[in-house]
Amino acid sequence: MDNVRLQTLSGASALVDGTEVEALRAALRGGLLLPGDPGYDSARSIWNAMIDRRPAMIVQALGAVDVKAAVDFARRHQAVLAVRGGGHNIAGNAVCEGGVMIDLSRMRSVRVDPESRTVRVDGGAILSDVDRETQAFGLAVPVGINSTTGIAGLTLGGGFGWTSRTFGLTIDNLLSVDIVTADGELRRANARLNPDLFWAVRGGGGNFGVVTSFEFELHSLGPEVIAGLLLHPIAEAPALMREYRRLAAEAPDELSAWLVLRKAPPAPFVPVEWHGKEVMIIALCHTGTLTAGEKDVIPFRKLGKPIVDLVGPHPFAGWQAAFDPLLSPGARNYWKSHDFKELSEGACDALLDAVKRLPADECELFVGHLGGRVNRISPEATAYTRRDVQFVVNMHTRWRDTAQDEACINWARGLFKALTPHALGSVYVNFMPSDELDRIRGAFGSNYEQLAEVKRRYDPMNLFRLNQNISQAG
């Protein structure tokens, strides 16, 4: 076969003999895709349509041995290396230009052990895979809010969602990982084996290797929970947000109350006359008994006069996918994000001002409600350090027409600047776009130097750099 030109870590390119490429193909249980091959364009396409990169080769792994072979090949040729789990990362780090891409999307096995209340999840699984298997046993691990998100990226960055206030972050329930490090070795990391590496992957992102398998602790939940949406006119939002802040502060750990500010989508449950009009949405999820949930959501349901009240018993797996239609692949996306200890009046004013100027119909602001068990874990226990955060605000611009790029990105950046005086200065790693290199130290906070030391130990050549990259210099 023809030789293959690879982009290298130094920024140059190198020509690889075709016989070496064929030897890699022969060593794989999965497949190897080159530009022009059937399936190549599909494999390089990810959730954020702004990302359009062309790897020199895509290894479609079927197991850890395939991952080892791909890492060895990339290291030997000092090639740029990308790793795709669910392909949902906003920065598009799952795909590289001209390098080697490891695609885990065919590795989606989920194996529940109901007796030990643990689950083993392959690195290419998405959240719906996890929820489907665990909920069959009335069990759950805390994950995110979009069921097409990959478990790998979510976990490595920390992982929060509807159940985090009760059960902690995704990483707080992580028991072990199987990980291929830069030397091509498959290692198990847990509290006893390679504990430094286990500490680092719990919030340090993809800096340390390719996780082929995760083991999580499970908790009793469902199969039904009290959950749902309350839609309010945006005109009522100033008064409602004051009450929301009070009720969120008083809420039990079992109750999460998130805010979404956006134009009402043309969904069947939204009255036609409200389609396309700005609304304030309160999204509730209760992890306790249905009886307790019905009681605990009453104060939120009594707020104002909602356009729609959809709060009630719902299958938990269904609720986990409730926002999927608003977050489907194929749109252009850009995010800015802030962490908050509290939502001040100034922060609320900035949010309400911005929602009046949404640059496209699919843009939204969401306020994630944290606290609870998340904040009762020591900042030094895991690489995720910001255990004082109560709310995460994500400015999610989403649009289809490239002509809107500048307007949408500038809107997010403008709101980010307006919120900065009210925020903590830190940021959730998984919400960082590719242009936020200056925020990496803030994302890892006081744990940055220790993370840099682990990085030096396991990846001295910085092979794994397509991520929120930790400098080995510290």
Strand partners, 190: 176
Q: How far is CA 360 from CA 148, 262, 323, 355, in A?
A: 23, 10, 18, 11
pLDDT confidence bin for 306, thresholds 50/70/90: very high
Mean pLDDT throughout 417-438? 96
Closest to 290 in 3D by CA, of 361, 227, 375, 204: 227
CATH number of 4-103: 3.30.43.10
Q: Do domains 4-103 and 224-437 have the same CATH topology?
A: no
Q: What is the pTM of this model?
A: 0.96
Res 33: pLDDT? 98
Confidence at 473, pLDDT banded by 50, 70, 90 = very low
Selection from 439, 88, 13, 353 nearest residue 5 by Cα: 13
Mean pLDDT of 160-176: 98
List, as one string, the DSSP characters of 277-310: SEEEEEEEEE-S-HHHHHHHTHHHHTSS--SEE-
Average pLDDT rounded to a whole number, residues 149-177: 98
Proportion of the chain above pLDDT 70, given as a percent: 99
Mean pLDDT of 406-422: 98
**CA distances for 448 relative to 154, 200, 384, angstroms:** 19, 10, 10
Parse the chain into domains and list their residue ranges: 4-103, 110-220+445-458, 224-437
Its CATH class, for the domain covering 110-220+445-458, is alpha beta
User: Stretch 365-383: mean pLDDT, rounded?
Assistant: 97
pLDDT of residue 2: 84
**In contact, 292 and 254? CB cutoff 8 Å:** yes
Question: What average pLDDT is seen over the chain?
Answer: 96
Q: What's the token pair of residue 118?
A: 């643990």
Lowest mean per-residue pLDDT among 67-76, 217-226, 320-329, 449-458? 320-329
H/E stretch holding 165 reads helix 164-167
CA–CA separation, 216 vs 112, rounded Å?
A: 10
How far is 110 from 127, CA to CA, in rounded Å? Answer: 10
How does pLDDT run across 116-139, given as a tens digit for each residue? Answer: 999 999 999 999 999 999 999 999
What was the pLDDT predicted at 472?
A: 62
CB atoms within 10 A of CB 360: 18
CATH architecture of 224-437: 3-Layer(aba) Sandwich (3.40)
- In 3-state terms the chain splits into helix, strand, coil percentages (rounded to 5) of 35, 25, 40
What does the buried/exposed string (b/e) look like for 70-109 if buried means 16 or more CB atoms within 10 Å of the residue's CB? bbbbbbebbbbbbbbbbbbbbbbbbbbebbbbbbbbebbe
Q: How many Cα neighbours within 13 Å face the side chain of 293?
A: 22
Average pLDDT over residues 399-425: 97
pLDDT tier, 142 (very low <50, low <70, confident <90, very high otherwise)? very high
Lowest mean pLDDT segment, chosen from 1-15, 97-111, 182-196, 387-401: 1-15
Contacts of 220 (CB under 8 A, 6+ apart): 138, 139, 140
Kindly report whether the peptide bond that precedes residue 421 is cis, defined as omega within 30 degrees of 0. no
User: Which of 402, 439, 404, 407 is closest to 424 using CA atoms?
Assistant: 439
Query: Is residue 471 very low, low, confident or very high in pLDDT (cuts 50, 70, 90)?
Result: confident
Token pair, residue 21, equals: 């490429």
Predicted confidence (pLDDT) at residue 1 exceeds the cutoff of 90: no
